[in-house]
Amino acid sequence: MTTAAPPIPARSSVPHFRTLRDLSAGQLRDLLALGERLAAGRPPEPDPRPLAGRSVALIFEKNSTRTRVSFEVGVHQLGGFPIFLSESDTQMGRGEPLRDTARVLSGYVDGIMIRTYEQETVEELARFSRVPIINGLTDLYHPCQLLADLLTMQQEFGAGRLGELRVAWFGDGNNMANSWLNAAAMLGFELRLAVPEGFDPDPETLERARGETSVLLTRDPKEAARGAHVFNTDVWASMGQEEEAEDRSAHFRPFQVDEELLALGAEDAIFLHCLPAHRGEEVTEGVLEGDRSRVFQEAENRLHGQKALLVHLLG
- Closer of 239 and 245 to ligand NVA (Cβ): 239
The b/e string for 273-305 (b: 16+ C-beta within 10 A; e otherwise) is bbbebbeebbbbeebbeeebbbbebbbbbbbbb
8 A C-beta contact, residue 50 and residue 315: yes
Give the shortest CB-250-to-ligand NVA separation in angstroms: 18
Q: What is the β-pairing status of strands 81-86 and 270-273?
A: unpaired
| Binding-site ranges for ligand CP (CB under 6 A) | 64-67, 137, 145, 274-275
Give the shortest CB-211-to-ligand CP separation in angstroms: 28
- Closer of 38 and 274 to ligand CP (Cβ): 274
Q: Catalytic site residue 274?
A: yes
Q: Going along the chain, which residue ranges are E strands?
A: 55-60, 81-86, 111-115, 133-135, 166-170, 190-194, 215-218, 230-233, 270-273
Give the shortest CB-25-to-ligand NVA separation in angstroms: 24
Q: Degrees (nearest 5) of the Cα angle 80, 81, 83?
A: 145
Among ligand CP, ligand NVA, none, partner that 229 touches (CB below 5 to 8 angstroms by kind): none
Here the contacts of 287-295 (C-beta below 8 Å, separation 24 or greater) are 287/231, 287/257, 287/258, 287/259, 287/262, 290/259, 290/262, 292/231, 292/262, 294/152, 294/156, 294/270, 295/271
Among ligand CP, ligand NVA, none, partner that 65 touches (CB below 5 to 8 angstroms by kind): ligand CP
Among ligand NVA, ligand CP, none, partner that 235 touches (CB below 5 to 8 angstroms by kind): ligand NVA
Q: Catalytic site residue 119?
A: no
- Say which of 18, 66, 115, 304 is annotated catalytic: 115
What 8-state DSSP symbol labels residue 19?
S
- Say which of 16, 142, 248, 294 is annotated catalytic: 142
Q: Catalytic site residue 306?
A: no
8 A C-beta contact, residue 283 and residue 257: yes
Q: Catalytic site residue 258?
A: no
Q: Catalytic site residue 144?
A: no
Give the shortest CB-106-to-ligand CP separation in angstroms: 25
- Closer of 128 and 180 to ligand NVA (Cβ): 180
Give the shortest CB-275-to-ligand CP separation in angstroms: 5
Among ligand NVA, ligand CP, none, partner that 192 touches (CB below 5 to 8 angstroms by kind): none
Give the shortest CB-116-to-ligand CP separation in angstroms: 13
How far apart (Å, rounded) are the C-alpha atoms in residues 309 and 303? 10
Q: Catalytic site residue 234?
A: yes
How far apart (Å, rounded) are the C-alpha atoms in residues 90 and 154? 39
Among ligand CP, ligand NVA, none, partner that 262 touches (CB below 5 to 8 angstroms by kind): none
Among ligand CP, ligand NVA, none, partner that 27 touches (CB below 5 to 8 angstroms by kind): none
| Binding-site ranges for ligand NVA (CB under 6 A) | 137, 142, 174-176, 234-235, 238-239, 274
- DSSP string for 242-272: GGGHHHHHHHHGGG-B-HHHHTTS-TT-EEE
Q: Which residues are catalytic?
A: 115, 142, 145, 234, 274, 302
